[in-house]
Structure 1
């Protein structure tokens, strides 16, 4: 069993749990998974093409990570390492889906059920609006924005996950912010029909 100092940062804690889990410590595995599950799910949901597959992609990410945990040496934080695996998992999923024929163009039962849910709940519309705005961003900008602004990764770690220079991540985040602000202003202040003519 591993004990952590009180002043340990969340990234240091998850990295310590990952290193302890390498030796088969079941409690460390559980702490590692619990600490990062939400971040992984948010990440795969934001960059994946099909939000309904988020649970499967999250599970697949952890299966891949736990299968290769013996190779994790702690040179980066466990969160950065795991989000890199999550990114590869989503890319592999998208490649696989692109090679399979589509069976139907109709909505599945889950989409229909989600649209039937009440929309007046506090925060519901804001969450939907943010998801819709993020979905309109180019993939690279969305990924950089989610990693740094929603998941709170430092730019250097986001660059490592995205396999690009830090400056590129900074540029993508700045452009994503600009696009999101412009779209938000457009949504809040629609141009009157007569003014457009």
Structure 2
């Protein structure tokens, strides 16, 4: 979905249809990014919903300086930051991640693959927020260094450095846990 697609709104396209398309195309990315930052499903649900409310209100203000995906992730990040700064959040002590109880694996290979993926995500979630966020934006959302730098208001060199440190820490932790 490109900027031209959003510009077509003024050409008579229904604002609700555009929002529905944005939610369909980018809804999972917004939710996963919110969850990755907050580590709470319910809060990620609320933030993702609020992101699309803000998008609906500001749909005509999209300037096209970044991709639509980067714009949505920036809104998501700002809403998470607003939540962290809120007085309510400072009074509440967040609890750790709750693990889902999945059903039994259908095959040994599938079980091992899931185990490895869970371990990697657990290690990534334990990274400091600055490293975790850059790694997620690059690996999961496939943003470029330039897009990440714009989104986080950092230099590209800082993004590259944080990405390198994040990968090194994940590799080090995987090697440590593999040796045990």
TM-score, normalised to structure 1's length?
Answer: 0.76
Contact 2:134 2:162 in 1 (8 A): yes
Q: Report what 1:117 is aligned to.
A: 102
Residue segments in structure 2 that go unaligned for 5+ positions in a row: none
Name the SS of the counterpart of 1:83 in structure 2.
helix
Alignment of 1:100 with 2:91, yes or no, is yes
In the aligned structure 1, how far is the partner of 2:175 from the partner of 2:28? 30
In the aligned structure 1, how far is the partner of 2:155 from the partner of 2:38? 22
More helix per residue: 2
Query: What value does the CA root-mean-square deviation take over the aligned residues?
Result: 2.5
Give the CA deviation at 1:137: 0.8
Alignment of 1:29 with 2:19, yes or no, is yes
In the aligned structure 2, how far is the partner of 1:74 from the partner of 1:183? 40
| Count of residues in Structure 1 that have an aligned counterpart in Structure 2 | 172
Q: Which runs of 4+ in 1 moved over 6 A?
A: none
In the aligned structure 1, how far is the partner of 2:8 from the partner of 2:16? 9
Give the CA deviation at 1:158: 0.7
- Whichever of the two has the greater Rg, that structure is 1
Contact 2:134 2:148 in 1 (8 A): yes
Alignment of 1:78 with 2:68, yes or no, is yes
